[in-house]
Amino acid sequence: MGTPREGAERIRQERTRQVRGLLILLAFILLGTVLHVGVRNVFLPGWWRVR
């Protein structure tokens, strides 16, 4: 068993890995959705223009 400081560091590293994993999962879901729906349906012509 380690010191409380080592335990806190291990928990921090685990949470960092969880956040990275969730962000990677989110990126794959968004990419899959855009590819499934089609880029032209997501980014319509002129979407960046302010009226």
Widest pairwise Cα distance in the chain: 63
| 48 occurs within a structural domain | no
Round to whole Å and give the CA distance between 19 and 14. Answer: 9
8-26, pLDDT tens digit by residue? 999 999 999 999 999 999 9
pLDDT of amino acid 43: 79
pLDDT of amino acid 51: 62
Q: Please check whether residue 39 is in contact with residue 31, taking contact to mean a CB–CB distance below 8 angstroms.
A: no
Query: Which range marks the domain in which residue 26 is found?
Result: 4-42
Query: Model-level pTM?
Result: 0.69
Q: Please check whether residue 14 is in contact with residue 21, taking contact to mean a CB–CB distance below 8 angstroms.
A: no
| 31 occurs within a structural domain | yes
Mean per-residue pLDDT of the chain? 88
| 47 occurs within a structural domain | no
Count structural domains, the chain. 1
pLDDT of amino acid 50: 67
| 51 occurs within a structural domain | no
